[in-house]
Structure 1
Amino acid sequence: MTSCCLLYLYKQPSLPLPLHPPLPISALLTHLLVYISGDKMVSGSYTVEVPFNVSAARLWKGAIEEPHILYPKLMPDFFSKAERIGEGVGAINVFYFAPAANLPPGSLNKNKIEVLDEATFTFKNSSVEGGLLGVRVQSFTYESVFVPSGPDSCVAKIKFEYETIGDQDLSEEEIKPNREGSVGVLKAVEGYLLANPDVYA
C-alpha cells in the first residue's frame, strides 16, 4: 500500500481494493532465523507475480513515476492525499490514508526510493515510517520489476524483504494486507490505463 508498495499497519485487515476478477497470482514465502549482535530476528521475504494487460512502460509511468498523483485520484476512499519529496533515487513518497482504510486518524506510509531504473523497469523502496516498521519489523523493502510479455502486456514481479523485531516471523494475517494492497493499487492503475488508452501512450 509506493510506491508502489504500501505497508499497512499491524493487524490491518485486508482492504477491498480492486482485485476482481480473481488474479492468477503466484507467491513464494521464505524466512530464516538469524542472529545479529546476540539478538534474535527473522529475516524473511515473499514474492508475487501478477500479469497485466498494459505495457510495462505505461504501468511504470503510472504506478512508479506518478503514484502520488494517481493513487488519491483513483482510490480517494483509501488515500486522502500523497506527495513526493525530492526527485529520483533518494526521493520520499508519502501516502496519507483516508477514513475508509480503517486506520487511526493521521496514519501515513513513508517510503524512500532506493532504485529507479526505467531501462529495466526496476523499482525498489525502503520503509521510513508507518506500517509494521518499529512495531513488528526493523526494516522492510519492496522491489518490483515489470517484465514485458507483449506489446500491451507485462508481468509484475514483486518482492518484499523484511527483518523482524524479535524471533517471531510475520504471520499470514500480517503479510496478506500488504501483498494484496500492493497488487490492488497496480490493478487500479491498470484499469485506469485500459479505460484511457491515450494516457502515457
Structure 2
Amino acid sequence: MHKAFVVAINTKTDSHQIPSQSWVVLQSERQRSTMGVYTFTNEIHSPVSASRIFNAITLDPDTIVKKIVPSGIKNIDVIQGNGGPGTIKLINFLEGKPFKYVKHRVDALDKEKMTYAYTVFEGDALIGRIESISHEFKISSRPDGGSTGIQVSTYRTKPGAENKEEEITSGESKDSCVFKAVEDYLLAHPDA
C-alpha cells in the first residue's frame, strides 16, 4: 500500500523557485509489506549545491553531525575500514538521551554518481524489534544550483515482533530533521 504524505514544509514557493533558507520535502511515500518491512521514500529539494550536501552527509558526517547536534552525539568512531564500503562506525549518544549507541555499516559509496548507502545493524535505537535499517541516498544537481535528494529507508523488523508504526515513522522524521540541520549549517557556513 502506498500513501503519499508531506513530512515537512518550511518554505514559500512560487512556481519552480525555492528561495534560500528553505527546505521542502516534495514527496514522501511509505510502504509496509506483510513481511515486517517498512519502506519510506523521501524527495527533498535544497538550495545547497549537490556536491556540498553530498560531501557533508557522506564524506564528512562525523564532523558536521557533531557540530549540528552537539547535544546529542558523544562521539563517532570508525571501528573498521577507511570510510568506504565495509566501514563500520560506532555512534555513541550523550547520557540522558533515549538511546546509548548504534553501529552502522557503509554498504555503498559512489562519489561520481553521488550515491551513498548504509545499514544500522546494532544498537538500542533498533528498539529490540527492528533487525536493521537501511538507507540509500542519491543527490543530484538542479538547474538553479540547488540539489534534489532522494532517500529510501527500509526498516526490517524481527520475525514475530510486534511493531508500532509510529515508532518506526518517528525515526524517519528524525532523519529528515538531520538533513534540514545539515542544510542550515551549510547555508550559515558557506566555506564549510
Mapped contact 1:68–1:93 kept (Cα < 8 A): no
Alignment of 1:6-17 (within 5 A): none
Indicate whether 1:28 and 2:29 are aligned.
yes
Considering only aligned residues, what root-mean-square deviation do their CA atoms show, in Å? 2.3
The counterpart of 1:84, out of the listed 66, 78, 83, is 78
Matched position secondary structure for 2:10: coil
1:93 counterpart = 2:83: no
Q: Does 1:118 align with 2:107?
A: no
> What's 1:10 paired with?
none
Does residue 1:185 correspond to 2:178, yes or no? yes
Misfit runs of 4+, over 4 Å: 167-170
**Residue in structure 2 matching 1:108, options 89, 101, 106:** 101
Which position in structure 2 is the counterpart of 1:59?
53
Higher RCO structure, 1 or 2 (CA under 8 Å, sep 6+): 1
Query: 2 CA distance for matches of 1:20 and 1:27?
Result: 12
Alpha-carbon spacing, 1:69–1:176, altered in 2? closer, same or farther (3 Å):
same
The alpha carbon displacement at 1:125 in A equals 0.7
What's the secondary structure of 1:179's corresponding residue? helix
Q: What's the secondary structure of 1:197's corresponding residue? A: coil
Q: Is the contact between residue 115 and residue 138 of structure 2 (CA under 8 Å) also seen in structure 1?
A: yes
- Aligned runs of 1:127-138 on 2, under 5 Å? 127-133=120-126, 135-138=128-131
The CA distance in 2 between the partners of 1:170 and 1:119, in whole Å, is: 38
Q: CA deviation at 1:169?
A: 7.1
Q: Which amino acid aligns with 2:89?
A: N
Deviation at 1:90, TM superposition (A): 0.7
Per the normalisation by structure 2, the TM-score is 0.78
Aligned residue pairs total 171
Identity of aligned residues (%): 25
Give distance in 1, aligned partners of 2:153 and 2:29: 10
**Partner Cα separation in structure 1 for residue 28 and residue 162 of structure 2:** 17
Unmatched tracts of structure 2, length 5 or more? 1-7, 12-22
1:50-74, Cα deviation, whole Å (9 max, x unpaired):
1111111111111111111111122
* Shift of residue 170, structure 1, vs aligned partner: 4.4
Query: Using a 3 Å threshold, how does the CA distance of structure 1 residues 167 and 148 change in structure 2: closer, same or farther?
Result: farther
CA offset digits 1:2-38 (Å, max 9, x no partner): xxxxxxxxxxxxxxxxx7836532211112224xxxx
Of 54, 60, 74, the residue aligned with 2:68 is 74
Stretches of structure 1 that go unaligned for 5 or more consecutive residues are: 1-18, 35-41
| Secondary structure of 2:166's aligned partner | helix
